[in-house]
Structure 1
Amino acid sequence: MMMEQSLRNRWKPSVTCLINELGMSSSSTITIDRERLQELDALSQSWLEKISQLYAEPHRAYHNMTHVQDVIASLDFLLDGEDSSIDAHTTCEKAILILAAFFHDVIYNPKSSTNEKDSADLFLQFASELGYQRDDNDEQPCTQQHIRNCIMVMQIEECIIATATHISSAGIAHETQNHTLATFLDADMSILGKDVEIYDKYAGCIRREYEFRADILESFLPILDEDAASTTATTPVKKHSFIYATDKGRLQWEEQARSNLKNEIEMLRRGVIPCEIQKHG
């Protein structure tokens, strides 16, 4: 399939970058010979197949490989026009974002509250397996401390975990100028700012995964001036002013996202499910 090949094309160089970073963060210099490179390539491909199978679970109407592809496309959009010179920093940052896209929803159970942590743990398992190094024909696993000391690993884990508190994490990323995290979070939420037809299709898919959704959507919306006037003492005050963390994301998606969210919340409060309108309307 074309989608599968395009994802493979993004996966392999990103994994290669991670392997290089794991080697650089090691306390000793290890030479990776041709045989080991072949082993690493086979390991990489087996993990991609495992990830693909997890994203193909039957209960996933939205959080599947199509979502991963959409996140990567939004990453490309957000990074377009940035400093794209091929240097170590830019290549590494792109690899962080791509691998975070592959792993951020790899464990997904709508009834679980630990999906993000479980997904991050699976990524750490992947990184640990890549960290096996061959020295004098003996394989020695890198320690967990070695994995944790790799900046690239830490940033990928940060991106995955941050999706558990998406809006507040985006606000913090913007305030602290954490460009990598801000870019990833905006790409993951870019679907909210797409045109109405695309958004309604997304909403229908999500509705099949979640039994209740309106309260979740309410938490995404920023508190506006007119909202503040009607806020009561018993109403939780939302402290964020924007959905997106990057200036480009706000310009491209913010207004449409707010409109989409408000429309869907109103429909759900009336008991109307967007996908049923498309199916029966």
Structure 2
Amino acid sequence: MPTKNLTHILFSDWQHTLQPFGVEQVVAEKAFNPLVAAYSTPGRYYHTLQHIDRVLSTIQILQGYTNNLAAVQLAAWFHDVVYDSQAQDNEERSADYAFEFLNNLGIPDSTITTVTRLILNTKNHQAAVDDYDSQVLLDADLAVLATNQVLYGEYTHAIRQEYSWMAEKDYITGRQQILERFLQRSRIYFTPLMSEFAEPSARGNIQGEIQSLLSG
């Protein structure tokens, strides 16, 4: 379960994000509870409220690149709201969840359309050259790849826990394929800031993880 302090910080962020849309505080508070519940379900070790907090913090740093900051922040809140490590349609279901949820809050259709598009783009972590909002969300979502050795180790351990149903051999094969796809990309990050300062660390961490997986 998330700490009270983290929940308090995130609720403040949630209220701040909804403020421009005129959502009343009581309504915002009532809407916050199912989000906390969703990100606190059993089986989540990485895709938790702590992940959402880190994504939102990175978006804050990268906000100068966005066209629609509120939509990017809302997409961050909902991009992993449905998460099942054995499913292939988490992003689609998360987008559907966000559509209904935000519609009930009275968020404008144009914003909801942007939010759902941003969520769907997290499936393959690809963004068009001029899609700056997606670029910021994707960079924030993958910021963990560039963290220090301790945090990166915690991240890989948490991911393995989420896939505890997989045999070790199968997990190593699947994880290696995912990591190598990132290395094969011309760039992991899209925004100039992340591309310059985070890219080398991310590639180093990924290469290190692959070596660790193969050495067993």
TM-score between the two structures when normalised by the length of structure 1:
0.68
2: CA distance, partners of 1:129 / 1:217: 38
Aligned equivalents of 1:119 and 1:48: distance in 2? 16
Letter matched to residue 153 of structure 2: D
Amino acid at match of 2:147: K
Q: Does the 8 A contact of 2:103 with 2:112 survive in 1?
A: no
Moved more, 259-268 or 210-219: 210-219
Q: Aligned equivalents of 1:268 and 1:129: distance in 2?
A: 45
Q: Deviations over 1:36-82 (max 9, x none)?
A: x6xx5433322211010110112001000000000011111223xx3
For 2:195, give the aligned amino acid: R
Distance, in Å, in 2 between the alignment partners of 1:43 and 1:109 is 28
Residue in structure 1 matching 2:177, options 208, 215, 218: 215
Residue 94 of structure 1 is aligned with which of 37, 59, 69? 69
* Whole-angstrom distance in 1 between the partners of 2:52 and 2:83: 13
Match of 2:10 in 1: 7
Alignment match, 1:69? 53
**Which residue, out of 23, 39, 51, partners 2:35?**
51
Are 1:114 and 2:114 counterparts? no
Partner SS for 2:102: helix
Any idea what SS the aligned residue of 1:206 has?
helix
Matches within 5 A, 1:22-171: 40-79=24-63, 82=64, 93-131=68-106, 150-166=109-125, 169-170=126-127
- Cα deviation 1:153-175 (Å, max 9, x = unaligned): 12111111111011xx14x2xx2
Counterpart code for 2:121: A
Q: Is the Cα contact below 8 Å between 1:119 and 1:160 reproduced in 2? A: yes
Q: Distance in 2 between matches of 1:43 and 1:117?
A: 26
C-alpha distance in structure 2 between counterparts of 1:122 and 1:47, whole Å: 13
Task: After superposition, give the CA deviation of every residue in 1:123-158 in whole Å (9 maximum; x if it has no partner).
Answer: 1111221239xxxxxxxxxxxxxx6xx321121111
Task: Extract unaligned runs of 5+ from structure 1.
Answer: 21-36, 84-89, 133-146, 223-239, 272-281
- Distance across 1 between alignment mates of 2:9 and 2:74: 14
Q: Answer yes or no: is the 8 Å Cα contact 1:13–1:95 preserved in 2.
A: no
Q: Which runs of 4+ in 1 moved over 6 A?
A: none
Cα displacement string for residues 176-223 of structure 1 (whole angstroms, at most 9, x for unaligned residues):
x2211111110010000111221111111111112322222122213x
Matched-pair identity in %: 30
Q: One-letter code of the match for 1:215?
A: Q
* Range with bigger deviation, 192-201 or 111-120: 192-201
Q: What is the 5 A alignment of 1:218-229?
A: 218-222=180-184
Q: 1:197 aligns with which of 150, 153, 156?
A: 150
Partner AA of 2:200 in structure 1: E
> Which residue does 2:198 correspond to in 1?
253
- Asked if 2 retains the 8 angstrom alpha-carbon contact of 1:104 and 1:160, the reply is yes
Give the CA deviation at 1:242.
0.4
What's the RMSD between the two structures over aligned residues?
1.9
In structure 1, how many angstroms separate the alpha carbons of the residues matched to 2:115 and 2:37?
21
Distance 1:130 1:61 in 2: 29
Amino acid at match of 1:54: A
Q: Structure 2: which 5+ residue stretches go unaligned? A: none
Give SS of 1:100's match: helix
Distance 1:214 1:58 in 2: 26
CA contact (8 A) 2:74 2:115 kept: yes
